[in-house]
Amino acid sequence: MTTQPETILLTGATGYVGGRLLGRLVDRGARVRCLARRPRYLRSRAPAETEIVQGDVLDPSTLAPAVAGCDVVYYLVHSMGRGHDFAEADHRAAEHVGRAARAAGVRRIIYLGGLADPTDDLSPHLRSRLDVGQVLRASGVPTIEFRASIIIGSGSLSFELVRALTERLPVMMCPRWVRTPAQPIAIEDVLDYLLAALDLPEDTGSRVFEIGGPDRVSYEGLMRAYARERGLKRRMIPVPVLTPYLSSLWLGLVTPVYARIGRSLIEGVRNASVVRDPSARDVFAVRPRGLQEAIRRALAHEDRAFAQTQWSDALAVAGAPTSWAGVRFGNRLVDSTDVWVPVSPQKAFAPIQRLGGKTGWYCCDLLWRLRGAIDLMVGGVGMRRGRPHPERLRVGDPLDFWRVEAMEPGRRLRLAAEMKLPGRAWLEYRVTPDRRGSRIRQTAVFDPVGLAGLAYWYGLYPVHRIIFSGMLRAIAARARAHNEPNGGG
């Protein structure tokens, strides 16, 4: 049994995989040092016990101090976004890190690359991924290279591409590349492999492990699996010709992937990424989960992260909407407005906790009742449930056609919509102390399903803007009145 490394150098900690691996390493009890070009940017997101050093894999003079005293280096960087010279930059970066690791006496490099058959006519991106592994092994430092297929997790490039295409296009023109076989793997399983590599025996040497989930599907199959999980009906029509260049421009229009990254990604998709060497199952105890479970967990993880996030940290203040019809965070549309009131947080929160039921919604009550009647007509709960108590709210309480999802008296109320919608919706209020008073932030969130969801949000946004702005003004007015002598509430 090997002892845990004293110090681990993590490169790529600001990336998708590296950012998640950092937390897992800290939880394991490892001493983690992160290499970052802009340490200040990483410091705000890294655990307090993490050491962060300034450095750049393309600047060898910065690497010796970073690697000094390290037992293991995780190499999780790539240069795909740099342009046409990314392969040359990746090659040089791997040489620099390998040379510095050998000079510092590092016992192991752990690298995550792409899964492909080296004998195929590979895209420049995949060829570069394999080249980096070869360069690291050539350094003389024992290197464990994992070659992964499509990674399933909220925030991963491939998953966000699949999500955007499936959510926005009920009918898709599918070129040949969407039928290339792959073996998707959940991000949690990738992290398990990366951590398990720390415990390999010292005499393992350099090894290449191909990793993927148990299901072999194409991008088309992956989109169909995502559609099933979201309850979407999608039609896919094959087309004979659509070049990577044209596909990348198309992706730039309908997905968050901009054209240069999209082209590199699609050029790689033409190559099969399936496990041919199953030795990872023999060496490691990791048993990857199936595709449908991986997608389900990705969506659930997104929900948990969303619930824990202070959206106001990323949104504008001063009582105005952040942009027309809100800001997009992943698949969600978020519109947030705030107002300052010269009262304590408890008094500012008082009218919020009385929302709904016989009190009403402080603005456009006729429209609220109309929405409730429409909801009843289409089989929803309508506004008939009211609320169980006129003053108190608890998590789980019904509130007209909402339900209390989070409640912190004097600070926070989050309501989850239970009316019939082409998607999911939340309404949240947060009250914070601010300049001898309080700031009330109102945030409306919508997670649309397909084009119907987008049409609902944008089509009703002007009406919602009037209603929610009026509600916030009325809440502020009631809070001020509550603070005045003989004021009402």
| Exposure of 430 in the CB half-sphere (CA atoms within 13 A) | 17
| Pair 317, 437 in one domain | yes
Residues 152-180 have a mean pLDDT of 78
Look-up: residue for tokens 């979201």?
Answer: 230
Q: Is 489 a domain residue?
A: no
Q: What value does the mean pLDDT of the chain take?
A: 84
What is the per-residue pLDDT for 430?
93
Looking at the DSSP bridge assignments, the partners of residue 14 are none
Residues 317 and 355 placed together within one structural domain of the fold: yes
Asked if the model's pLDDT at residue 253 lies above 60, the reply is no
Residue 488 lies in a domain: no
pLDDT for position 487: 47
Asked whether residue 270 falls in the same domain as residue 176, the answer is yes
Which among 7, 6, 59 is positioned nearest to 37, based on CA atoms?
59
pLDDT, position 267: 62
Query: How do residues 110-143 score in pLDDT, each as one tens digit?
Result: 999 999 999 888 888 889 999 999 999 999 999 9
Q: Is residue 3 part of a domain?
A: no
pLDDT of res. 175: 75
Range of the domain at 244: 8-305
Please, which pLDDT band fits residue 85 given cuts at 50, 70 and 90?
A: confident
Whether residues 474 and 339 share a domain: the answer is: yes
Q: pTM (2 decimals)?
A: 0.69
Mean pLDDT for 412-418 is: 92
C-alpha separations of 17 from 9, 178, 187, 189, 190 in Å = 15, 24, 8, 11, 8
- Whether 404 is covered by a domain: the verdict is yes
Give the pLDDT band of residue 268 (cuts 50, 70, 90): low
Looking at 287, 305, 323, which one is the last position of a domain? 305
For residue 378, which amino acid is it? V
Any domain includes 2:
no
Rounded CA separation 52/55 (Å): 9
Please, are residues 152 and 20 in contact by the beta-carbon 8 Å criterion?
A: no
Residue 138, pLDDT score: 97
Q: Which residue has the higher pLDDT, 306 or 479?
A: 479
259 pLDDT tier (thresholds 50, 70, 90)? very low
**398 & 278 share domain:** no
Confidence of residue 15 (pLDDT cuts 50, 70, 90): confident
Q: Are residues 73 and 219 in the same domain?
A: yes
Same domain, 442 and 368: yes
Classify residue 243: in a domain, yes or no.
yes
Neighbours of 43 (CB within 10 A): 13
Q: The domain spanning residue 223 has which CATH number?
A: 3.40.50.720
pLDDT at 320 over 50: no
More confident residue, 177 or 281: 281
Answer whether residue 454 shows pLDDT above 90. no
Residue carrying structure tokens 């996030």: 309
Q: Please give the share of the chain, as a percent, with pLDDT higher than 90.
A: 50
- Tell me whether strands 332-341 and 438-448 are parallel, antiparallel or unpaired: antiparallel
Task: Round to whole Å and give the CA distance between 383 and 369.
Answer: 7
Tell whether 144 and 267 lie within a shared domain.
yes
* Residue 311 predicted with pLDDT over 50: no
Last residue of a domain, one of 271, 305, 339: 305
Contact 25, 46 (CB under 8 A): no
Look at residue 105 in the predicted model and tell me its pLDDT: 96
- Is residue 197 within 8 Å of 288, Cβ to Cβ? no
Query: How sure is the predictor about 378, in pLDDT bands with cuts at 50, 70 and 90?
Result: confident
Q: From 237, 271, 305, give the residue that closes a domain.
A: 305
**Lowest mean per-residue pLDDT among 97-106, 235-244, 363-372, 427-436:** 235-244
293 and 330 share a domain?
A: no
Q: Are residues 343 and 426 located together in one domain of the fold?
A: yes
Q: Domain total for the chain? A: 2
pLDDT tens-digit map of 196-215: 999 999 899 999 999 999 99
Distance of CA 220 to CAs 163, 217, 395, Å?
12, 8, 40
Provide the pLDDT for residue 435. Answer: 81
Shared-domain flag, residues 155 and 242: yes
Asked if the structure places residue 33 within a domain, the reply is yes
Residues 276 and 325 occupy one common structural domain: no
State yes or no: pLDDT of 261 exceeds 60.
no
Is there a domain that residue 317 lies in?
yes
Rounded to whole angstroms, how far apart are CA atoms 100 and 130? 20
**Residue 342 is part of a domain; what is its CATH number?**
3.30.530.20
- pLDDT, mean of residues 88-105: 96
